[in-house]
Amino acid sequence: MAFFQGLLDNEADAFFEKLREVRVSSHLVIGRGGTVYQSVAFDKRAWHAGESDFQGRARCNDFSIGIELIGQEEGPFTEEQYRSLSSICDRLCVTYEIPNEHIVGHRDIAPGRKVDPGADFDYSKIRSSAK
């Protein structure tokens, strides 16, 4: 979790030294078993999208909520992750009046640079219940 909060102790392991200059965080992280961890408050900017664009608007970090799923960059993801993500998206869409078609992945906002959550990600599992 420290990595997604920008608090990783780079001196704790030699591998972490490679990550010293990486600036990454997300609002939520969903573990393989569906457990949800909040790293950044929703009213704060997280550094999840990088150089990005959504519907002609650049710098998605400035106006979006980043949710990371633990696992391979292109999946597969667990049913528990889909269930948690669906519940979260449903609540966020209602609370922030977000159209469910605005639930997108990194590959949609940073094509050519990011590939997650992968071409096989089943958006119907998380968009169908969102309002």
Residues recognised as catalytic: 68
Residues paired with residue 67 on neighbouring β-strands, in sequence order: 28
Rounded CA gap, 70 and 129, in Å?
22
Other residues' Cβ atoms within 10 Å of the Cβ of residue 42: 12
- What's the CA dihedral at 77, 71, 85, 79 to 10 degrees? 30
Picking from 127, 129, 125, 103, the residue whose alpha carbon sits closest to that of residue 34 is 125
